[in-house]
Amino acid sequence: MLNLLYAGLLGIVEGITEFLPISSTAHLILTAKLLNLPQTEYLKSFEIIIQLGAISSVVVLYWKQLWQWEVIKRLIVAFIPTGIIGLIAYKFAKQYLLGNTSVVLWTLLIGGILIIIFEYLYKEGESGSQEMATISYKQCLAIGLFQSVAIVPGVSRSAATVIGGLLLGLNRKTIVEFSFLLAVPTMLAASGLDLIKSADQFSKDQVGFLAVGFVVSFVVALLSIKFLLRYIKNHDFKAFGIYRIAIAILLWLGMK
């Protein structure tokens, strides 16, 4: 049963993993399983809504960029595919994919392999866009399509958007920061939709657990974002790919 300690722990997991290419949703699902928390509708909602805490850290760190009209327009365009696909697939994803350990482990494994292959083959050119405001609307729409794949738990919204952006010719820092900002409307929409559908079913204690998860994920995500920005100056994502493969195999073995 979820309590304040477990809510805080899940908040830490969310804050660490939201912006790394390892899938925060997958880690929340797997952590809940390790804690023997039943996959109730409330827990599924909890795992969606506490992501708002991590996303709030982006608002704090990138407040000025979020008010730049040229950036806002590009975020709107990039959000459109995700918004449409998410609205259509929300019920199916929450009912059949969230909490599905097999789906999570397979996507972690396959995603890790694809990240490693991509990083070995990819060579960043000198002409990559240096500013978010210079990303074309066509590129923004394509990034949104890449992001929409992350409706499947374990895919990683961060990995999908960053790799998509790199394939479209953006440099790594630009697409990583654009991915940060794109998380704001994306997770606001996902959490808002879930709150509209589920909020009246939450008890007073459950609202308190959400508050704890929100605050903890916010604080930890601030540190996680700063870590990733430092990390990408000298590293690619191969280490994250290896981690995804290792955690999937270890958990598979542990479940047998």
Cα torsion 38, 44, 46, 48: sign: positive
**Nearest residue to 124 via CA among 239, 235, 240:** 235
Q: How many CA atoms lie within 13 A of 47 on its CB side?
A: 25
How much is the pLDDT for 190? 80
Residue-level pLDDT at 89: 87
Q: Over the stretch 111-137, which tens digit does the pLDDT of each residue have?
A: 999 999 999 999 876 555 578 999 999
Report the pLDDT value the prediction gives residue 256, as an integer from 0 to 100: 58
Low-confidence ranges of the chain (pLDDT < 70): 125-129, 199, 255-256
Domain ranges of the chain: 4-255
pLDDT of residue 72: 96
**What is the H or E stretch that residue 163 is in?**
helix 157-167
Residues with Cβ within 8 Å of residue 189, at least 6 apart in sequence: 79, 82, 83, 86
- 2 touches 209 (CB < 8 A): yes
CA 20 – CA 176 distance, rounded (Å): 10
> pLDDT value at position 124?
75
H or E element in which residue 63 lies? helix 63-66
pLDDT of 126: 59
Give CA–CA dist 13/16, Å, rounded: 5
Q: What is the pLDDT of residue 129?
A: 57
- Residue 128 has a pLDDT of 56
